[in-house]
Structure 1
Amino acid sequence: MTVGHSVALLALPEATLECVSQHAVRDAVRYFTPDLVAVPGARNPIAYATAREAAPDLPIVHPQLGTGGTRIHHYRSSPDAGVHEASDERPPAETMDFLAVQSRDVLSDLARQLTTGERQTGSDAGTFLIVPELAVEWDTTTLSTTLPNAQELVTISAMLPEPVTVLVGGQPATYAHEWSLTHADSSVRVPIAGLGAADRDGSMFAQCTCTTHGSVAAEAVDSDQFGLKALYGVGEATADRLRTHGCETTRDILDLAVSDLVELPGIGRTTAEKIHAHADVIDSSEPLVLTNKRPVKTRDDRPPLCLDIETDGLSPTIIWQIGVYDPATDSHQTFIEKNHPEDPQPVLEAFVIWLLANHRDRTILTWNGHRFDYRYIRQFLTQLLPEYLDAWDDLWKYDLYKWAVRDGNALLPGRTNKLDHVARAIGYDASATGLTGAQTAAAYQAFMRNPADPETEPDWERHRTYCEDDCRALWYVYKAITEAPRRDMTDSGAGGADGQQAGLTDFHP
């Protein structure tokens, strides 16, 4: 399911680096395992030094410090050579390029270098232009937005044959918008993606998966989810108490016995056990099962079907893709509405007929399905295909997120409990589609507005692969949970909680 070459770019904004511990930064680098690190924001030598110390073997992009000839940083990536500093030689066509300018004023110099051939890029793979302090301007009077330096950006985009995406440090990592700009009396699409990784809720780190297609999928995680505050029940006050006791990292927590944690002010026995257990989970990247209950029941020995849906938003008017992965046959079935986005019935009907005809005795598994997948499938069946509703209700349906997180049956190693974060932490190797759930919804919304326009038609195969990847990731996490040994959280020895009990599958409901 490989979808081309990709580069993992970790954004460590200088404003965030100012307010987190060095141990948290190292933890973020270890967790994300990036190929390239960018430090967007204002010129900040301390932030740059912090990033360099945390990732000594990786290229650190912070051209804000440069002078003279170092005002433009240029890195290249290829499947064989990885990310490396660009040379003056013409690169192979499949090379991905990362160009970072010191400031917006340098964009005109970069355009000139690209025009004269002084600086060259791969013509068949995406080029990514990093502008560390660029932000979209918002006029509160006219309620309109303006893209600064639009002329320079569209000039660079129009002159290069490959896809060009602009990564801007002044926008949060959740920002993604394709601007339509005019160049030589023609309209040119210029994708802009946020790299600032900050939002109204606080400081964030973000990893951006950059693909040969020029697409960017960002995973933003609150900076509090790294270092000591990543642990269950540890806020700033508890983290300070732990540091006073000589603990700076989750590994330090494991060197303590639970009884040592209980002696600290404000930490009771139950909290101490959870802190210690969660440190073990993060350090080992293995789930910790806290119960003898099974997450799923099946009618036979066949594993559950893993289901995932794609909609046009969080309050959907259509379920436009339904994917089902069958671990028993290692096969994936997809139902996609490509022709009639105004009609939600055909794709839903095709799915439910296939499911009931072939797998009515199978158990179905989702991640947060009770609040999303199952909820909206049932809602649309009620509205459009009520004759299948009873049969749908009779199917055995389980929600692994509810069992593990909401019901408190397991501790997971992801820094959030989103499926892709949990799967990544456990070791799942995701496909490089360069998509997020929000992007798939936005792409289909654009298609719905004008389905006859070839420019709005989604890359169906890439979106199909994204959905399949979620289904396979769910199975990967399910196996990790069901195969994990149950570990006793009680204090057992000088090293803390290391007792083991039987595996989850040895217990019966």
Structure 2
Amino acid sequence: MALDTSLDVLTIPATSLERVPQPAIRDAIRYFAPDFITIPGPRNPAALAAIQEATTDTPFTYPKLGRNGSHIQQFQYAPETGLTDATDNQSSESLIDILAVQNQDALSNLQGEIGNGTRQTGSERATFLIVPELSVDWDATTLSTTLPNKTELAAISSSLPEPVTVLAGGQPTEYYHEWDLPHDGSTETVPIAGLGATDHDKSKFARYSCTAHGTVAAESTDTTEFGLTALNGVGPSTAQRLRQAGCRTTDDVRDFAVSDLTDLPGIGRQTAEQIHAHADVIHSGDPLVVSNRTPVKTRDDRPPLCLDIETDGLSPTIIWQFGVYDPATDTYQAFIERNDPTDPESVLEAFITWLLANHGNRTLLTWNGYNFDYEYISQFLRQYRPEYADEWESMWTYDLYKWAVRDENALLPGRTNKLGHVAHALGYESAATGLTGAQTAAAYQEFMRHPDDRDHEPDWDRHKAYCRDDCEALWYVYQAITDAPRRDMTDSGSSGATGQQAGLTDF
């Protein structure tokens, strides 16, 4: 359900390239399959060598190193042509432009080139500007922030007809803020998204979905989720023992028999079976169901309704969107509070009356719903519409995350157990909304602060599409799990290094 043209960008910070084993870097690139790679952080030729060794197929930029003496690089993207280097030859048909400056001093040069027409984006859709070490200054005394180079950034944004989003290499992935910057007697709104990916304590990679509307959705992943440490039961010490035994990749582990793994110090039979089975799951991209338990029961032959909610934060004061996807009819129903963000009751009542009146005998399915969706729906009903609370509690509710992950009924191929990662690993084609859960909450918080200002409203259609995408991704994952063979994790160990499938028997 593609909503818009988007460019997938993978951030691999220079500091991560220094610390992460080469097989893990290649693993991350293969897993994310990005259109483009960027390397924020300081100049480090060893990091450049690492990325050149890791991939020859994916275009990348390392802004701090420049390119052929140029302090400014430019790339353009269109679905028909893919990503092309347009530093010296701009196209007029791109939907997304990437500009990368070597340092913040080069911003004034870029401003001049755009102003005099020697630098053209050729795009009327979106431009993303990479500034590799840009970081927001924080004053702990006055509790205020300052954006360096705001004059140049405002001028660049104002000079281009399309939306300009700045990707700041000195800010963590979670950072996103729309800065209102003064320019020529007016105000220029410039979104700043963090590109740094690291929190100084551990290395991270981050995937960015950059849309032709100028929006960007980012999510970071610890580098330990790639390479040998991606396997269940493998930490740094076990990974070191595996490397000493000749295993550098998860495929190498898959080519071991369980009996070979148990010969290594500190690896018992149960752990070896789990490691081996997970290596097979990562290789195949298919889930492995390891129990006879049924993930969902229904009252009739219809499949479960897939439910997702959006709130104003992790400790919500309002559930402002309910989304329900019905696989039986391939229809979607959304309930959104667009008018009064101080009124959590109206949208709640609209959802619960529709649900009970039309689908009171259906089963509900969520991802991590027992820790969030179901919990807050119950809480808000008891608080605002208690007459429906008992009927809601009688609904059949299931949590696929709890069944698969917490109850250990399945091994999943995602490098984390977040719904988006699992669905991606299983082949789900996500809608390009350019949103994350944190951004949906932040957008509604902004609406709550300015309920009478239409300029501060969320893009309702885009947020509705984001919630629907989560519901349909959940159904996709549910189908993959229910269609997966049920096997145990035991391995006879009789086939040696070629016996990766030995003993993975059906129940």
TM-score by length of 2: 0.97
Give structure 1 stretches of 5+ with no counterpart: 504-509
How much has 1:200 moved relative to structure 2?
A: 4.8
> Would you say 1:496 and 2:500 are equivalent positions?
yes
On the 8 A contact 1:95/1:121 being kept in 2, the answer is no
**Distance between the aligned counterparts of 1:60 and 1:67, measured in 2?**
11
Paired letter, 1:161: P
How far, CA to CA, are the matches of 2:185 and 2:93 in structure 1? 28
CA distance, structure 1, for counterparts of residue 157 and residue 253 of structure 2: 50
Deviation at 1:497, TM superposition (A): 4.1
Once the two structures are superposed, the pairs formed by residues 373-412 of structure 1 within 5 Å of their partners are 373-412=373-412
Query: Whole-Å Cα distance in 1 between the matches of residues 289 and 123 of structure 2?
Result: 50
**Which structure 2 residues correspond to residues 131-146 of structure 1 after superposition, within 5 A?**
131-146=131-146
Return 5+ residue gaps in structure 2 as ranges: none
For the 8 Å contact 2:13–2:197, the answer to whether it is kept is: yes
Residue of structure 2 equivalent to 1:294: 294
SS for the counterpart of 2:221 is strand
Moved more, 333-342 or 493-502: 493-502
Name the SS for the 1:475 alignment partner: helix
Mapped pair 1:328 → 2:332: no
Give 1:69 shift.
4.2
- Partner of 2:417 in structure 1? 417
Matches within 5 A, 1:103-142: 103-142=103-142
Give the C-alpha shift of residue 194 in structure 1: 0.7
| CA spacing shift, 1:200–1:44, aligned 2, 3 Å | closer
Match of 2:91 in 1: 91
Residue correspondences, number: 503
Tell me the secondary structure at the aligned position of residue 203 of structure 2: strand
Corresponding position of 1:30: 30
Partner of 1:63: 63
Deviation at 1:142, TM superposition (A): 1.9
Letter matched to residue 45 of structure 1: P
1:155-194 map, 5 Å: 155-194=155-194
Instruction: Name the amino acid aligned to 2:413.
Output: P
SS in 1 for 2:129: strand
Q: Give the SS at the match of 1:70.
A: coil
Shift of 1:326: 0.5
Q: Is the 8 A contact 1:123 1:160 kept in 2?
A: no
Please report how far the alpha carbon of residue 488 of structure 1 lies from its aligned counterpart in structure 2 after TM superposition: 2.7
Alignment check: 8 A CA contact 1:93 1:125 kept: no
Q: Which residue of 2 aligns with 1:507?
A: none
Alpha-carbon displacement from aligned partner over 1:341-371 (angstroms, at most 9, x marks no partner): 1101111111111111111111000000011
Q: Residues 105-504 of structure 1 correspond to what in structure 2 (within 5 A)?
A: 105-492=105-492, 493-494=494-495, 495-502=499-506
The one-letter code sitting in structure 2 at the alignment partner of 1:421 is H
Q: State the secondary structure of the residue aligned to 1:300.
A: coil
Query: What CA distance in whole angstroms lies between the structure 2 residues aligned with 1:176 and 1:55?
Result: 29
Amino acid at match of 1:188: E
Deviations 1:410-445 (A, max 9, x none): 111111110000000111000000000000000001
- In structure 1, the partner of 2:7 is 7
**1:488–1:497 contact (8 Å) kept in structure 2:** no
Query: How far apart are the structure 1 equivalents of 2:262 and 2:341?
Result: 58
The 8 Å contact of residues 126 and 211 in structure 2, kept in 1 or not, is answered as: yes
Give the residue type in structure 2 aligned to 1:475: W
CA contact (8 A) 1:289 1:409 kept: yes
TM-score (normalised: structure 1): 0.97
Q: What displacement does 1:59 show?
A: 1.3
Structure 1, 195-204 or 72-81: larger mean CA deviation: 195-204
- Large movers: runs of 4+ above 4 Å: 87-90, 500-503
AA at the equivalent of 1:496: Q
Q: Which amino acid aligns with 2:491?
A: D
Q: Which amino acid aligns with 1:175?
A: Y
| CA positional deviation for 1:130 | 0.3
Matches of 1:68 and 1:470 in 2, distance apart? Answer: 44
- Contact conserved, 1:486 with 1:500, CA < 8 A, in 2? no
Distance in 1 of aligned mates of 2:123 and 2:97:
10
Shift of 1:89: 5.3
* Per-residue Cα deviation, 1:81-130 (whole angstroms, up to 9, x for no partner): 11111165553365210000111111111111111111111342110000
How far apart, in 2, do the equivalents of 1:321 and 1:309 lie?
A: 6
* Structure 1 residues 167 and 471: alpha-carbon distance in aligned structure 2, compared to 1, 3 A threshold: same
Q: Distance in 1 between matches of 2:443 and 2:256?
A: 50
1:238-279 CA-to-partner distances (Å, cap 9, x unmatched) read 111000000000000011110000010000000000000111
In structure 2, C-alpha distance between the alignment counterparts of 1:325 and 1:498, rounded to whole Å: 40
- Residue 63 of structure 1 deviates from its aligned partner by 2.5
C-alpha distance after superposition, 1:34-67 (max 9, x if no partner): 0000010001111112112222112111121126
Judging changes above 3 Å, is the alpha-carbon distance between structure 1 residues 498 and 331 closer, same or farther for their aligned structure 2 residues?
A: farther
Distance 2:405 2:200 in 1: 26
Pair 275,361 (structure 1): closer, same or farther in 2 beyond 3 Å: same
Provide the C-alpha distance between the structure 1 equivalents of 2:435 and 2:61, rounded to a whole number of angstroms: 24
SS of residue in 1 equivalent to 2:115: helix
Q: For the residues of structure 1 that align with 2:152 and 2:491, how far apart are their CA atoms?
A: 62
In structure 2, relative to structure 1, the CA distance for the partners of 1:61 and 1:80 (3 Å cut) is same
Given that 2:76 and 2:94 are in contact with CA atoms closer than 8 Å, whether structure 1 keeps it comes out as no
Q: Is the 8 A contact 2:154 2:182 kept in 1?
A: yes
Alpha-carbon distance between aligned partners in 1 of 2:4 and 2:501, rounded to the nearest angstrom: 43
For the residue of structure 2 that corresponds to 1:313, the secondary structure is: coil
Letter in 2 for 1:186: S
Which deviates further from its counterpart, 357-366 or 480-489?
480-489
